[in-house]
Protein backbone atom coordinates (compact mmCIF):
# COMPACT_ATOMS: atom_id res chain seq x y z
CA UNK A 1 0.00 0.00 0.00
CA UNK A 2 1.32 3.42 -0.83
CA UNK A 3 0.00 6.69 0.48
CA UNK A 4 0.69 10.20 -0.60
CA UNK A 5 0.38 12.87 2.08
CA UNK A 6 -0.39 16.49 1.44
CA UNK A 7 -0.16 19.17 4.13
CA UNK A 8 -3.52 20.61 5.14
CA UNK A 9 -2.33 22.68 8.14
CA UNK A 10 1.38 23.41 8.56
CA UNK A 11 3.37 22.73 11.72
CA UNK A 12 3.87 26.48 12.20
CA UNK A 13 0.13 27.17 11.93
CA UNK A 14 -0.75 24.34 14.33
CA UNK A 15 1.80 25.56 16.90
CA UNK A 16 0.55 29.14 16.65
CA UNK A 17 -3.06 28.05 17.19
CA UNK A 18 -2.20 25.84 20.19
CA UNK A 19 -0.34 28.78 21.74
CA UNK A 20 -3.43 30.98 21.24
CA UNK A 21 -5.69 28.33 22.76
CA UNK A 22 -3.39 27.97 25.77
CA UNK A 23 -3.38 31.73 26.32
CA UNK A 24 -7.19 31.93 26.05
CA UNK A 25 -7.71 29.03 28.47
CA UNK A 26 -5.23 30.61 30.91
CA UNK A 27 -7.18 33.90 30.80
CA UNK A 28 -10.56 32.21 31.15
CA UNK A 29 -9.47 30.13 34.14
CA UNK A 30 -7.21 32.75 35.78
CA UNK A 31 -6.80 32.09 39.50
CA UNK A 32 -8.00 28.50 39.16
CA UNK A 33 -6.54 25.10 38.41
CA UNK A 34 -7.72 23.27 35.30
CA UNK A 35 -8.08 19.52 35.00
CA UNK A 36 -7.55 18.23 31.46
CA UNK A 37 -9.17 14.99 30.32
CA UNK A 38 -7.23 13.72 27.33
CA UNK A 39 -9.21 11.42 25.06
CA UNK A 40 -6.83 8.69 23.91
CA UNK A 41 -5.10 7.82 21.70
CA UNK A 42 -5.16 10.71 19.27
CA UNK A 43 -5.68 13.44 21.85
CA UNK A 44 -2.37 12.73 23.64
CA UNK A 45 -0.20 14.76 21.26
CA UNK A 46 -2.51 17.78 21.34
CA UNK A 47 -3.15 17.58 25.11
CA UNK A 48 0.58 17.57 25.93
CA UNK A 49 1.31 20.53 23.66
CA UNK A 50 -1.70 22.43 24.98
CA UNK A 51 -0.80 21.78 28.63
CA UNK A 52 2.69 23.23 28.04
CA UNK A 53 1.11 26.47 26.85
CA UNK A 54 -1.34 26.93 29.75
CA UNK A 55 0.11 29.22 32.40
CA UNK A 56 -2.18 28.28 35.30
CA UNK A 57 -1.87 25.03 37.31
CA UNK A 58 -2.81 21.98 35.23
CA UNK A 59 -3.60 18.41 36.15
CA UNK A 60 -4.33 15.74 33.55
CA UNK A 61 -6.08 12.40 33.32
CA UNK A 62 -6.73 10.06 30.41
CA UNK A 63 -9.78 8.32 29.05
CA UNK A 64 -10.21 6.03 26.07
CA UNK A 65 -13.57 5.59 24.41
CA UNK A 66 -14.57 3.82 21.23
CA UNK A 67 -17.56 3.61 18.96
CA UNK A 68 -15.69 1.99 16.10
CA UNK A 69 -14.72 -1.43 17.46
CA UNK A 70 -12.88 -3.11 14.57
CA UNK A 71 -14.43 -1.08 11.79
CA UNK A 72 -13.84 2.20 10.01
CA UNK A 73 -17.45 3.26 10.55
CA UNK A 74 -19.05 4.04 13.89
CA UNK A 75 -21.29 1.41 15.44
CA UNK A 76 -23.14 4.18 17.27
CA UNK A 77 -22.52 2.39 20.56
CA UNK A 78 -19.93 4.14 22.72
CA UNK A 79 -17.81 2.03 25.04
CA UNK A 80 -15.41 3.31 27.71
CA UNK A 81 -12.20 1.31 27.24
CA UNK A 82 -10.14 3.17 29.87
CA UNK A 83 -11.81 5.24 32.55
CA UNK A 84 -10.39 8.14 34.53
CA UNK A 85 -8.10 7.54 37.49
CA UNK A 86 -9.23 10.60 39.48
CA UNK A 87 -12.53 12.03 40.66
CA UNK A 88 -13.91 15.05 38.80
CA UNK A 89 -15.91 16.36 41.73
CA UNK A 90 -15.56 20.15 42.15
CA UNK A 91 -12.89 20.43 39.43
CA UNK A 92 -12.73 22.80 36.47
CA UNK A 93 -12.63 20.19 33.72
CA UNK A 94 -11.63 20.58 30.09
CA UNK A 95 -12.04 17.64 27.70
CA UNK A 96 -9.22 17.64 25.13
CA UNK A 97 -9.98 15.96 21.80
CA UNK A 98 -7.94 15.73 18.63
CA UNK A 99 -10.95 15.80 16.28
CA UNK A 100 -14.72 15.99 16.40
CA UNK A 101 -16.60 14.63 13.45
CA UNK A 102 -20.02 13.01 14.03
CA UNK A 103 -20.22 14.23 17.64
CA UNK A 104 -21.70 10.89 18.73
CA UNK A 105 -18.93 9.97 21.17
CA UNK A 106 -18.95 13.32 22.97
CA UNK A 107 -22.76 13.47 22.93
CA UNK A 108 -22.61 10.27 24.98
CA UNK A 109 -19.55 11.13 27.07
CA UNK A 110 -20.39 14.66 28.27
CA UNK A 111 -23.46 13.62 30.34
CA UNK A 112 -21.45 10.73 31.82
CA UNK A 113 -18.77 13.18 32.96
CA UNK A 114 -21.28 15.79 34.18
CA UNK A 115 -22.78 13.12 36.44
CA UNK A 116 -19.41 13.05 38.23
CA UNK A 117 -20.09 16.60 39.49
CA UNK A 118 -17.27 18.79 38.15
CA UNK A 119 -17.49 22.53 38.89
CA UNK A 120 -17.49 23.08 35.14
CA UNK A 121 -17.03 21.01 32.01
CA UNK A 122 -15.95 22.39 28.66
CA UNK A 123 -14.57 20.99 25.43
CA UNK A 124 -11.39 21.82 23.53
CA UNK A 125 -10.72 20.29 20.11
CA UNK A 126 -7.85 20.77 17.71
CA UNK A 127 -9.99 19.89 14.67
CA UNK A 128 -13.68 19.99 13.83
CA UNK A 129 -15.46 18.49 10.82
CA UNK A 130 -18.82 20.27 10.85
CA UNK A 131 -19.94 18.57 7.63
CA UNK A 132 -19.92 15.18 9.40
CA UNK A 133 -21.92 16.27 12.47
CA UNK A 134 -24.77 14.02 13.53
CA UNK A 135 -25.04 15.16 17.16
CA UNK A 136 -24.32 18.75 18.18
CA UNK A 137 -21.75 19.38 20.88
CA UNK A 138 -20.58 22.74 22.19
CA UNK A 139 -16.90 23.34 21.51
CA UNK A 140 -15.57 26.04 23.84
CA UNK A 141 -12.04 26.11 22.40
CA UNK A 142 -11.42 25.17 18.78
CA UNK A 143 -8.30 25.03 16.69
CA UNK A 144 -9.59 24.58 13.15
CA UNK A 145 -12.69 23.72 11.17
CA UNK A 146 -11.63 21.38 8.39
CA UNK A 147 -13.30 19.82 5.34
CA UNK A 148 -14.54 16.24 5.37
CA UNK A 149 -11.23 14.62 4.44
CA UNK A 150 -9.27 11.83 6.08
CA UNK A 151 -6.59 13.61 8.11
CA UNK A 152 -3.46 12.43 9.89
CA UNK A 153 -0.75 13.87 12.08
CA UNK A 154 -0.71 15.45 15.52
CA UNK A 155 -2.08 12.24 17.01
CA UNK A 156 -4.40 11.30 14.17
CA UNK A 157 -3.49 8.06 12.44
CA UNK A 158 -3.98 5.95 9.38
CA UNK A 159 -3.60 2.24 10.26
CA UNK A 160 -1.74 3.32 13.44
CA UNK A 161 0.81 5.27 11.37
CA UNK A 162 1.54 9.00 11.05
CA UNK A 163 0.43 10.07 14.56
CA UNK A 164 3.88 11.61 15.02
CA UNK A 165 3.66 14.05 12.10
CA UNK A 166 4.04 17.63 13.40
CA UNK A 167 1.41 18.93 10.96
CA UNK A 168 -2.10 17.97 9.84
CA UNK A 169 -2.03 16.11 6.55
CA UNK A 170 -4.46 14.47 4.18
CA UNK A 171 -3.87 10.89 3.05
CA UNK A 172 -4.35 10.30 -0.63
CA UNK A 173 -4.53 6.58 -1.36
CA UNK A 174 -3.36 5.22 -4.68
CA UNK A 175 -6.25 4.18 -6.90
CA UNK A 176 -5.22 0.53 -6.51
CA UNK A 177 -5.68 0.82 -2.72
CA UNK A 178 -9.28 1.99 -2.90
CA UNK A 179 -10.62 -0.94 -4.91
| Residues catalogued as catalytic | 101
- Burial of 111 per CB tally in 10 Å (0-12, 13-18, 19+): exposed
Burial of 149 (0-12, 13-18, 19+ CB in 10 A): middle
**Cα 147 from Cα 34, distance rounded (Å):** 31
**Which of 42, 92, 91, 33 is closest to 62 using CA atoms?**
42
Give the C-alpha separation, 108 to 76, whole Å.
Answer: 10
Radius of gyration of the chain (CA): 16
Amino acid sequence: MSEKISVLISEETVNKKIKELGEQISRDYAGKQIHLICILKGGAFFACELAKRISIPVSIDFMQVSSYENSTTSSGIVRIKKDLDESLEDKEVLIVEDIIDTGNTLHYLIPVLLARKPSSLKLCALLNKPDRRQKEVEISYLGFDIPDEFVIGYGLDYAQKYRNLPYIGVVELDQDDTE
